[in-house]
Structure formats: structure tokens, C-alpha cells
Chain A
Amino acid sequence: MIVVIHLSSFYDQAAVPDDVKVTPKDVASGRVKPGKFGGYTTRVTRKMETHSTVTIDERSLVQRLVFEVIPRPGLRKLGPCNRKQLVAEFLDGNLLPEVAHPKHITGFEVENDQGPDEKLARETLAQFVAAEHHLTGEPLIDPAQLEAIIAKYLEPYSHDDHVDHLHARFGVAKKAS
């Protein structure tokens, strides 16, 4: 699946000049990244109408599903979720921090969505039904929940539904086509 994110500004990396002091706090916070030959680069926001092309591997969405359905106390989880939600969560939680601030998004396009991969989802989730929690010994995913998780992942939706969901999730007005 290809998601094209239209942007009014975007994150880029710029080399930090020698006369700029970089503190340990800057390093610890991830504000700077190590440069090639000992210096640093830092994230800058460049103002420009552009777009980011994101090629999402279905395995990434299934892995995000695994993350959402394994219970972990203290962490916000969606639980069973459909693919529209998985795409939005993956973009927001895993990818956008390197691409752009959500407020810079001006629109979404979705192309070449081949739909869910039931075989991949079943094979992947089965590993976590079989695997045991390191303390309790219970399955990481409750076998009784498996079919409900799969059914939610396979939930049908239209192309327009998907695009609308992304616009709604990121609070972006959809442009009239």
C-alpha cells in the first residue's frame, strides 16, 4: 500500500555547524543525530508544499496489530482493530515523527491497497498464541480472542472510507475532488 501524505512543511536534517554548542541533553532527547564524521545533524522544519510517499509493507501493519492486541499494563492499546486504524496508528506512532508534524498535513491519498493478508495475519498471530508470558506462563494472545482479532483486521472498507478515516484521524479537512 502506498500512502501519499501532502504537507505544508516537512522535517529534514541539517548539519550542525562547529560554532553551535550541542549539549548532552540535546543528544539524550534525540534532538540531534550523529553526523558522518563526528559532528551532528539536527531536525529542521522546512516550509514547502510537498508530499511524502510511504510504502507500507503489510507485515508492518500486522506487527502493529500484534502490538495493539498483546495486553501490557500502563500502555494505551486499541485492542482488536481494523486495517484503517492500523494504517493511521502506524503512521502516527511509528513513522510521522521522522517525516513531519501532524499539523503540517494537508491531505492524504491511498493507492495500491491490496487489502488485508489473512494468511500472514494468521501465521503471525499464531506465534503469539503459542508464546507464553514470561511471568504468568499464559498465552500472549488469548486463543479465545483470535478469531475476533482476525475478523476485525479483515473488516471490509472502501477506498473513500480509508481516505476519510485518515483525514478524520489527523484532523485534516478533505479537499473537494
Chain B
Amino acid sequence: MSPPRRSSARKRSLSSFVRQESKSAPKSDFFSVWRTDALSRGREGRGKWRHNLTTTTASGYTCANDWLAKLMGFGPSGTFATAVGAATASGATSLTNSGAAFTTAGQGLAGQVVVCWISTTVMVYGIIVANTATVLTVDQWYNGASTTAAAGTTPAATAPYIILPFQGSAQWMAVTQNATAPTTADTVLTAELTTADWARAVGTYAHTAAASTYTLVHLWTSTTTVTINKEAQFGACNPTGGGVMPFESAEPTPPSLVSGDTLQNTITVTI
């Protein structure tokens, strides 16, 4: 067997690399690429694949690295007794247990899922976006049987609940006309579009068993003239709730759309 060939290019020592890398911001091998196609323009409207920015230095719970660790690992909800209990008050975006001791350290319970009992056959869930020791704030109460992640019934003031021990997914897709360059520290999509035609939407998810990627796809058709400059992926249903924003992407050639134009966004996430 012949010995491995040595590269003619001069290489750094491992120690040199470690010293240099220690000074830079955290990076993640987990990444995504995004493509935007203006379907109403045929092949002319087909976009190029572009790299998405991963929010690896965002403060708070919207940081992609923190979300991924808690999604794949184990969040803090299994470490306190009141992860399961009964509410003492409820609202359209909140659940209170006055006797609870919800963890607030670090990022608290943000990003986790709380499930509430409505009846023997109906339950709703919410994505926790903030919490105190006794109050959970959620983006909305979801109808667990809805294919569009539609809103469900607000739980009764004494509803039983459980906080599940992992993070909610980030399947919501959103767009903006704002052209400010994204950074890894971003926590929101500035001036996110919220009109009915461009509101956050759940992407259609596809994953092939054994493949190293998964895909999210959504179509938007505009009712006005807009120029889409950035897109992002979120873990909550609306900008008020916010939600984890693991990926943000700037359009290299922002598509300008007129009323009736359809845009397809495709995200491929490499695991």
C-alpha cells in the first residue's frame, strides 16, 4: 500500500488553529440553505441556493445552538415537580399556577411545549415564549388536531397541564421587505410581513428515512406589490410570540412581486 500523499500547501499546526478558533464566535455544523422561486415567472424566476445565516450568537432563547441542544437533548422541565399540575388562572396566551416554581434561570422554559387538558378528547398546546416562576406565556393555544396549526380553545382556569421535556419545532416560515443585512445575533425578523397574504405559515415538511437533510416548503401569493429581502424560520406562530429563530436568510437578488405573483420558499436543512 502506498503512503498517503502529502499536500504541497503549507498547513497550520493544530495548536495554531485552536488558538485562533478560540477567539471567534461559536459555529455550528448544523446549517440550512434556502431558495426562492417566483413561480409565476416560469424558469426566469428560479432563484439560486443560498446559505442561510444560523443565529449562533443570539442572546436569549432564540439562539439556534441553544434550541438545537434542548431539542435533541433534554430541557429543564423534567427537573421540577410543577412541570405537571393544574392551573389557577388562564388566558388567551397565558397559564398561571400560583403554587408553581417554574424555572426562570438562564432561558427558563422558553421554547418548550405546554399541553393543557380541555376535555377527555380535546387538548391544546402552546409554545412557551417567556415565563416567571408562576406564569407561562405562550404564542397561542393550538388545536392539536389542526393541519394548519390553527388556534384552539383557551384552557379553563383550573385546567391540568404538562410541560413537555423538549423544545417545540421551528416550522414557521416568514418574510420581510426590510433589507438590513442579517447577523448571527439577530433574534427577530425586522419588519416581518404580517398581512394575510404574507403571514407566517407552517412549511410542508419532508424527510426521507436515512437522508441527511429535511425540507420545508411554502408558497405565498401576493395581493400587492412587495419586494422580499429576507426570510426566516421560527418556532412560534406570530411575531408577538416571537419564537426561536434558528435561520435567517438575505435574498441576493430580492424578488419584486406584483399582485398575483407566487413565491415558493424552499429550505433544506442539513442535520
Contacts and interface: CB of A to CB of B under 8 A. Distances in A.
Interface of A: 1, 7, 10-13, 27-28, 30, 32-37, 41, 46, 48, 50-60, 63-64, 66-67, 70, 72, 74-75, 90, 94-95, 98-100, 114, 117, 120, 123-124, 127-128, 130-134, 140
A120 B201 CA distance: 13
Contacts of A34: 33, 49-51
Interface of B: 27-29, 31, 33, 35, 39-40, 42, 46, 48-51, 145, 147-149, 196-197, 201-213, 215, 217-221, 223-225, 258-260, 262, 264, 266, 268, 270
Nearest to B222: A131
B55 to A, nearest CB: 14
A99 B204 CA distance: 13
Contacts of B215: 95, 98-99
Given A30-B35, A52-B208, A120-B148, A57 B213 contact: no
A53 B221 contact: no
6 contacts: A30-B49, A52-B206, A54-B205, A57-B202, A130-B223, A131-B223
Contacts of B39: 67
Nearest to A114: B147
Given A52-B207, A75-B40, A100-B208, 11 more contacts: A30-B35, A46-B210, A52-B208, A56-B204, A63-B220, A67-B40, A94-B219, A98-B217, A131-B224, A133-B260, A140-B260
A100 B213 CA distance: 13
Nearest to B47: A30
Closest 9 CB pairs of A and B: A131-B223, A34-B51, A33-B49, A52-B208, A63-B219, A134-B258, A36-B31, A57-B202, A33-B33
B148 A57 contact: yes
B148 A58 contact: yes
Contact of A7 (B204, B208, B264): B208
Q: Chain A contact residues: over half helix, strand or loop, or mixed?
A: mixed
A72 B206 contact: no
B208 A64 contact: no
Contacts of B202: 57, 59
A94 B264 contact: yes
Contacts of A7: 208
A140 B259 contact: yes
Contacts of B210: 10, 46, 48, 50
Contacts of A36: 27-29, 31, 51, 270
Nearest to B54: A36
A90 B266 CA distance: 13
Given A52-B206, A56-B204, A67-B39, A127 B197 contact: yes
B48 to A, nearest CB: 7
A99 B268 CA distance: 10
A141 B238 CA distance: 28
A124 B202 CA distance: 15
B225 to A, nearest CB: 7
Contacts of B218: 57, 59-60, 63
Nearest to A64: B219
Contacts of A70: 221, 260, 262
B259 A74 contact: no
Contacts of B33: 33-34, 41
A95 B217 contact: yes
B40 A94 contact: no
A115 B259 CA distance: 29
A86 to B, nearest CB: 11
A75 B42 contact: yes
A128 B196 CA distance: 11
A72 B197 CA distance: 18
A51 B205 contact: no
Contacts of B147: 1, 56-58, 114, 117
